């Protein structure tokens, strides 16, 4: 019986050539998508930076170069200062409250066996609800005269509270609604991270005598650092980009958008599309973009991705050596 002839091995040079041709084919297929993405993402950013140095006439479409005048006027404007302070308060209050709360809720849900899917759906429901209708519902609940919240408080003898027309309650209302709207997304992301951690880590820690809180502190938290970076960045970005909530809550309240809960995006849109100061609005957009970039880079530097993994691996190796 004749032996089957084995296939001749492909020469490394020929294999390398085929792989090279396949790589170029993939790149050629991705070029149109990359071109569209670049045009839709980076061209508007470059155009905004360019427009921030001009006084753009909305009617005649003529640009007059005015150097850094828009930026100088912006930092002298009291409305911009109010918008920046309000937006920063909202963003960092969201960050400080929502980060530990969402992580604790995710850890609790991860340990639940019965009705886990129902609890997860309950927390995620506000995320998929449109902002406009739920803001209208919140506006009715918080109404001073016939709102559900003031009616409930009146049962205990409390007086009416002007939730939307008093500075401090108005900011608190925005923060609470933003947390309620976004916490479900953060909980879901942390849940995915927790379920990706091997159970053997927790079992080894339990054998060494670690309780649940110690396992969470020394295993879960370090391994969740990459996800923590992502969640913290997206939370701050959502806080700095708040607009629809403030616009709808303050639509029929005299002076509320200007003095109580005015935010950067509201100020930017009003200057650009109501007063037609496109150059000034572009300068505000550049400042907002710079703030988000700086915060993102700072968080990525403080919570470097591999630190938690390396620390946990060192702890696991130290535990095995001590046995």
- Going by C-alpha positions, the residue among 218, 165, 166, 227 that lies closest to residue 196 is 227
Number of domains in the chain: 2
> 50: Cβ–Cβ under 8 A, 6 or more apart, which residues?
none
Same domain, 78 and 38: no
Q: How far apart are CA 79 and CA 174, in angstroms?
A: 19
Residue 41 has pLDDT above 70, yes or no: yes
Q: Is residue 1 in a domain?
A: no
* Reported confidence tier of residue 254, pLDDT bands at 50, 70, 90: very low
CA atoms in the 13 A half-sphere facing the CB of 271: 27
pLDDT of residue 128: 92
Lowest mean pLDDT among 63-72, 224-233, 313-322: 313-322
Higher local confidence (pLDDT), 23 or 317: 23
Residues 6+ apart with CB under 8 A from 239: 87, 90, 91, 92, 93, 94, 95, 178
pLDDT at 215: 82
Condensed to tens digits (0 to 9), the pLDDT of residues 184-210 reads 999 999 998 888 888 888 888 888 787
* Separation between Cα atoms, residue 13 and residue 20, nearest integer Å: 10
**What pLDDT sits at residue 1?**
46
Average pLDDT of the chain is 82
For residues 118 and 106, give the distance between their C-alpha atoms in angstroms, rounded to a whole number.
14
The verdict on residue 7 lying in a domain is: no
Which of 146-150, 228-232, 249-253 bottoms out in mean pLDDT, i.e. has the lowest? 249-253
When pLDDT is cut at 50, 70 and 90, the band that residue 161 belongs to is confident
Contact 127, 182 (CB under 8 A): yes
| 24 and 136 both lie in a single domain | no
pLDDT tens-digit series, residues 102-124: 999 998 888 887 887 888 888 88
Q: What is the DSSP string of 181-240?
A: HHHHHHHHHHHHHHHTS-HHHHHHHHHTT--HHHHIIIIIHHHTHHHHHHHHHHHHHHHH
The answer to whether residues 78 and 41 belong to one domain is: no
Q: Is 56 domain-assigned?
A: no
Does residue 261 fall inside a structural domain? yes
Q: Is 294 domain-assigned?
A: yes
310 has pLDDT over 60: no
- The average pLDDT across 216-221 equals 83
Q: Are residues 34 and 172 in the same domain?
A: no
Both tokens of residue 43?
Answer: 């061209």
Q: How confident is the model at residue 276 (pLDDT cuts 50, 70, 90)?
A: confident
> Is the residue at 225 inside a domain?
yes
Check pLDDT > 80 for residue 2.
no
Domain containing 234 equals 69-322
Give DSSP secondary structure letters for 89-141.
HHHHHHHHHHHHHHHHHHHHHHT--TTHHHHHHHHHHHHHS-HHHHHHHHHHH
């Amino acid at each position: 019986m004749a032996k089957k002839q084995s296939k001749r091995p492909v020469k490394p040079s020929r294999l390398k050539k085929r792989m090279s041709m396949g790589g170029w084919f993939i790149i050629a297929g991705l070029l149109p998508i990359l071109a569209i993405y670049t045009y839709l993402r980076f061209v508007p950013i470059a155009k905004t930076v360019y427009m921030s140095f001009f006084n753009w006439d909305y009617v005649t479409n003529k640009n007059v170069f005015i150097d850094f005048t828009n930026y100088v006027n912006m930092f002298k404007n009291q409305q911009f200062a109010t918008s920046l302070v309000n937006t920063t308060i909202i963003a960092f209050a969201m960050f400080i409250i929502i980060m530990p709360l969402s992580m604790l809720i995710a850890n609790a849900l991860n340990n639940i066996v019965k009705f886990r899917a129902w609890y997860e759906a309950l927390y995620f429901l506000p995320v998929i609800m449109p902002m406009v209708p739920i803001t209208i519902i919140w506006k009715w609940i918080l109404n001073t005269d016939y709102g559900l919240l003031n009616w409930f408080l009146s049962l205990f003898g409390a007086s009416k509270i002007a939730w939307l027309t008093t500075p401090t309650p108005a900011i608190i209302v925005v923060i609470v609604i933003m947390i309620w709207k976004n916490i479900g997304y953060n909980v879901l992301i942390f849940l995915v991270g927790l379920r990706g951690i091997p159970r053997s880590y927790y079992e080894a820690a339990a054998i060494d005598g670690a309780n649940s809180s110690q396992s969470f502190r020394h295993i879960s938290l370090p391994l969740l650092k990459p996800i923590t970076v992502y969640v913290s960045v997206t939370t701050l970005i959502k806080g700095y980009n708040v607009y629809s909530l403030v616009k709808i809550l303050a639509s029929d309240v005299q002076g509320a958008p200007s003095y109580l809960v005015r935010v950067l995006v509201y100020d930017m849109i009003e200057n650009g599309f109501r007063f037609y100061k496109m150059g000034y609005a572009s300068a505000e957009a550049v400042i907002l973009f710079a703030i988000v970039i700086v915060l993102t880079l700072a968080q990525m530097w403080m919570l470097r991705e591999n630190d938690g993994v390396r620390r946990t691996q060192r702890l696991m190796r130290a535990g095995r050596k001590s046995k």
